[in-house]
Structure 1
Amino acid sequence: MIYLFIFLVILCVVITLFLNLNPVFGGTPSKEQSETYQTFNNYVNGKFANQVPTSMAMSFSDNFSMMKESISGGVNRTPASQIPVSKIDWNKINSKEDSLTWLGHSAFLLSIDNKKILVDPMLGPIASPVSFAGSKRYTGDLLPIINSLPPIDAVLITHDHYDHLDYPSIRKLKDKVSHFIVPLGVSNHLIRWGVPKEKITELNWWDETELQGLTVVLTPSKHFSGRGLFNRNSTLWGGWVILGKNIRFFTSGDGGYDAHFKEIGKKYGPFDITLIEGGQYDRRWSWVHMTPEEAVQAHLNVNGKNMMLIHWGAFTLAYHSWTEPIERALKAAKEKEVNLIAPEMGETVQLDSDLHIPIFSPWWGFLA
């Protein structure tokens, strides 16, 4: 018995040291930050909270069924072969034209008013704090793309989960980026990774900031945060509104469907294009991720004109087939008369001219 006790103590010490010393887990809000957060309506009992009470507890049967599905696998949960990335047209990206380049999952490069903005630039090979466990990227490592990127005016982060905020990507990007705009608390991760504090702006929900003539707004979402075992909801999460001279843009960030989308639409809509998550859903966590049908409805609620589905095509984080999200979204969009675009990863879409190209041959159909 004494040996078991000693083993458990040593194990706890090792885990604690690993969590505290490994930089991938990021930083923690200071005492002063936490005291400031307590003045906000969305900070309750030392944690950030959703606009509506959101329980993330799952029943024993749900947990058991998830374990069972994890072991048994599923049909077409990953592509049959590695997904190729479309040859990137750097001339389009470097031009002054408004454009959008999807880099898989929720990562994309946006050019509005000739300002280059990266959102959730998770370009690393695995969505995990460790290399030996976690979901591997379908395309392989995209970190080399960073070498060819133009200077980035801003990086926007929706929240601190590993499939959105990636340590290797930020470390490689930080010297190419003029500024980082993040939800409350996320600055502590970036500072630990070598980003100067003066290059970071933190926002609460509905806060606005100016970026070289653009208006950038952090909007609510119904989700959660945390990178370690003991820091859940210590940082905020959300979506982003970006308003330019000709383009009004919205991306949802991660989150379940709720009334906040109509509120966003009333305050900042209509939007020329929306990027809405609808790719890693399950009835057992319906409160924090949308189905494709809910994503299409969220697009309508924010008063969007054109839509793109995100949070799919790069990682397997749920139990449906990897192509199901876009297939269901296309069906729902057709029923609701929504123009849904589905470019290849790496393809640059010009926002003034390429938004009504019909999908004749879905690229994912050749890889399923």
Structure 2
Amino acid sequence: MPLVHHARTARSLATTVLRATVFGATAAGMGLLARAAWGIPSALGASAAAIKQVANGSPQFEGGTFRNRLPPEVVRPASFASIMVAVLTRGRIGEPNGPVPLVEPRHPTVAAELAVTWFGHSSALIEIDGRRVLVDPVWSDRASPSGVVGPRRLHPVPVALDRLPPVDVVLISHDHYDHLDLATVRKLVRGSRAPFVVPLGVGAHLRAWGVPAERVVELDWDGQARVRELTLTCTEARHFSGRGLTRNTTLWASWVIAGPQHGAFFGGDTGYTPAFAEIGARFGPFNLTLLPIGAYHDQWPDMHMNPEEAVRAHGDLGGGLLVPVHWATFNLGFHEWSEPVRRLCAEAKRTDVRVAVPRPGERFVVSAPPTQDWWSALA
């Protein structure tokens, strides 16, 4: 979730404040501000002090914050103004030219050997060797601490959260709002018994939101957890974290999901890194990779991969089938809505990489991936 996301949220909040100011100290104006601010303190999550209790001792934690192993490529100061101008003048670029087609999934009673249901953005259900892994579930209307301001969904959720089959584990990549959602977490706590496996520090957010401590497993990079017959390995990613003004108090990660017979890789949210080749050498090859392809920009190459880099990372990992995530649902970049998947498919064809692009909600077994081009009509 790059600078543009925070800029848009700030712009939305500024608009709300301006409207309230115009209304004056009226009930309507005060109500507008109250709705924008409602729930924000809780959504921000745990304090830095609570997070630090589990972060201390990590090789990635230094001076009170987590750091990437690669030096960051910092946005030039002069570029901040140009980014803000682009945010304010971009119009409808990044939105689909019509309703996004949705599919209400039908899940079998018994999980498949290898199947995927993509719900939009980075939320997906991975079926592997008879178990179900729910990754980065976000069911709220906005990727924001506020229910009134911030990036809003470009399509509805394809299925209600309580209509999902029982899941064996919930896997979180990092604490940005488009990957970790308070309302969704609370529903999952009430509606399932699945443990949450998360990077270091993210567990403090969950415990602050009422997730029982025994259902939270926190891992550093290279740490592993065993859930039923699955081995989950927390692996390196190149990104950042933060739910407020302070960045990098919690760790970000990609994930290796290994069953008795199959392996999958979930990239979460990341820029390209040579660590993918190391992960592929240690844990690959993978039958399936889910890799982010959207919200890329030259100003934040170490935050988000572009589509061509996703194909490269897939090759580094020894991937079989590539399923793109982190696109189509929240408008967090400056590119056109369908540009990421068009570029991905072109690069995949050039390099002979197998790609599956499901519609939001579409479940498929990896041996029979969807082939329909449903996105070009919305360009």
TM-score (normalised: structure 2) = 0.86
Counterpart CA distance in 2 for 1:181 and 1:46 is 23
Contact 1:155 1:177 survives alignment (8 Å): no
Matched, 1:23 2:39: no
Equivalent residue for 1:11?
Answer: none
Equivalent residue for 1:88?
Answer: 105
Amino acid at match of 1:255: T
Unpaired stretches in structure 1, ≥5 consecutive residues: 1-13
Matched, 1:133 2:149: yes
Equivalent residue for 1:38?
Answer: 56
Equivalent residue for 2:373?
Answer: 362
Counterpart CA distance in 2 for 1:128 and 1:251 is 23
Counterpart CA distance in 2 for 1:169 and 1:241 is 23
Which one of 283, 307, 313 corresponds to residue 328 of structure 2?
313
Distance 1:246 1:268, change over 3 A: same
**Alignment: residue pair count:** 344
Q: How does 1:231-270 map to 2 (within 5 A)?
A: 232-270=247-285
Equivalent residue for 2:70?
Answer: 52
Alpha-carbon shift at residue 309 of structure 1 (Å)? 1.2
Contact 1:180 1:200 survives alignment (8 Å): yes
Contact 1:118 1:155 survives alignment (8 Å): yes
Contact 1:54 1:287 survives alignment (8 Å): yes
Counterpart CA distance in 2 for 1:29 and 1:19 is 22
Equivalent residue for 2:18?
Answer: none
Equivalent residue for 1:221?
Answer: 237
Q: The residue matched to 1:240 in structure 2 has which SS?
A: strand
Counterpart CA distance in 2 for 1:192 and 1:112 is 31
Contact 1:276 1:309 survives alignment (8 Å): yes
Equivalent residue for 2:225?
Answer: 209
Deviations 1:100-133 (A, max 9, x none): 1001111001111221210000121111111222
Counterpart CA distance in 1 for 2:302 and 2:234 is 20
Amino acid at match of 1:354: A
Contact 2:73 2:301 survives alignment (8 Å): no
Which one of 165, 190, 193 corresponds to residue 209 of structure 2?
193
Q: The residue matched to 2:134 in structure 1 has which SS?
A: strand
Equivalent residue for 1:114?
Answer: 130
Q: The residue matched to 1:99 in structure 2 has which SS?
A: strand
Counterpart CA distance in 1 for 2:306 and 2:154 is 21
Distance 1:147 1:35, change over 3 A: closer
Equivalent residue for 2:12?
Answer: none
Counterpart CA distance in 2 for 1:206 and 1:337 is 31
Matched, 1:182 2:198: yes
Counterpart CA distance in 1 for 2:203 and 2:94 is 34
Counterpart CA distance in 2 for 1:20 and 1:47 is 26
Deviations 1:315-364 (A, max 9, x none): 1000000100000000111111101111111111112x214x5x3x4111
Distance 1:238 1:95, change over 3 A: closer
Deviations 1:131-166 (A, max 9, x none): 222111111255x61121122211000000000001
Alpha-carbon shift at residue 86 of structure 1 (Å)? 0.8
Distance 1:35 1:124, change over 3 A: closer
Contact 1:28 1:234 survives alignment (8 Å): no
Matched, 1:66 2:83: yes
Amino acid at match of 2:305: M
Contact 2:55 2:201 survives alignment (8 Å): no
Contact 1:82 1:140 survives alignment (8 Å): no
Amino acid at match of 1:27: A
Counterpart CA distance in 2 for 1:208 and 1:19 is 37
Deviations 1:227-256 (A, max 9, x none): 0113x1110001010011221100111111
Which one of 293, 303, 328 corresponds to residue 343 of structure 2?
328
Distance 1:313 1:20, change over 3 A: closer
Amino acid at match of 2:47: T
Which one of 270, 278, 281 corresponds to residue 293 of structure 2?
278
